[in-house]
Amino acid sequence: MADFPFDIVGFDLDGTLFDTSIELSASLNHALASVGRPPLATEHVLSLVGMGAVHMLRLALEEQGTPDETLVKALTPVLVAHYEANIGTNCPPFDGLIEALDALAAKGVKIAIVTNKFERLAKLLVETLGMADRFVTVIGGDTMGKGRGKPQPDPIHEMVRRLGGGRAAFVGDSIHDVTAAHAAGIPCVAVAFGFLSQPVEELGADAVIAHYDELIPALQALS
């Protein structure tokens, strides 16, 4: 560890570790179709991801002219049930991720997930993909309680606490990731291949990578 600047590296999940766009859009469109709403293109759904399933559904309904909280509440379990039933069927890791995780592990770095996805679903996803043993802990959008997910720093602080303290960095694809990391006092690396709702250069990250083979050098440069 003497030649590597971080003891802990945390990752966002959707759009950072895995391309979950096909599964998320299928479940969102399933929920919309159940009440006769038109489907959204997968490419468009990407711009709605980042604050969890309820927020994604709310944004989709608002765009279709029905920002009805009663409907959001009714359709959330429909969306979640469909997602859970199909989880892990079509969400490949981004290119170079496995090698990057192996490289971090070889350096003795503790690796975690901090996502705004429900904790139960995040854990189920990595278990289904056979990758649960790669992450020391998984913190979801509901882990810390209502209103305490990203962009709040609370889950980042909890990640560091659970992993025993030390120098930490975070990797994500949204302004919520960057804001949470910086509020917690740690640097953030943004992935240019993620589910971006704005140009990656505008996120304010400490570094930007276009492929996971750039992660280790980017982290080393942040020292």
Question: Is 33 within 8 Å of 110 (Cβ atoms)?
Answer: no
| Cα dihedral sign, 176-70-125-199 | negative
Catalytic residue among 3, 7, 12, 154: 12
Question: Which string of b and e fits 20-43 if b means at least 16 CB within 10 Å?
Answer: bbebbbbbbbbbbeeeebeebeee
Q: For 147, left (φ over 0), alpha (ψ -120 to 50), or beta?
A: left
Distance CA 176, CA 80 (A): 22
Active-site residue, 173 included: no
In residues, how long is the chain?
223
Residues 6+ apart with CB under 8 A from 46: 15, 21, 195, 196, 197
Q: Locate 154 and state its tokens.
A: 């609370």
Distance CA 221, CA 89 (A): 36
Q: Locate 8 and state its tokens.
A: 């802990």
Q: Locate 51 and state its tokens.
A: 């604050």
Active site residues: 12
